[in-house]
Amino acid sequence: MSRHPLHAALVHFPIACWTLAVAADVASLWLGESAWRWSGGLLAVGCAIALAAVPAGLMELSRVAEGAAMRDAYLHMMAMLLAFMLFSGRLLLRLDQLQPLAPNTVSLLLDLGGFAALAMGGWLGGRLVYHHGVGVN
């Protein structure tokens, strides 16, 4: 029977939501409120599903071989934790009574930092699968 790791199925949602949230915030510089209104919901969904992806990833950690693969797994976890913290901070700093506010300079910097951490963590996650064979039967 084939095993399908839950972590691999869940991570696509935070990646997509956070990336689209950054795109919406950047687009709001030209398009205004019609773009940044999407960002708050995307950030919230991305953060919520990330909370489910973390324990699923921790369950997979026992299947990672010691050495280079484990080093990449720890780097992946650190990058994704940083992305989660930056995007969560971005969400919480720009809410007023659960209503999103227009992005300011700080929130755009959090977006860019979160996206950089997300890209690095995603690359490391791909490296775990395609280079080290983690989660591959």
- Residue 1, pLDDT > 50, answer no
Alpha carbon distance 48, 29 (integer Å): 26
Specify the pLDDT at position 32. 87
Confidence band, pLDDT 50/70/90 cuts, at residue 46: very high
Mean pLDDT of 109-121: 97
Alpha carbon distance 8, 65 (integer Å): 18
Q: Give the pLDDT confidence of 57-87 residue by residue, as tens digits.
A: 998 888 888 999 999 999 999 999 999 999 9
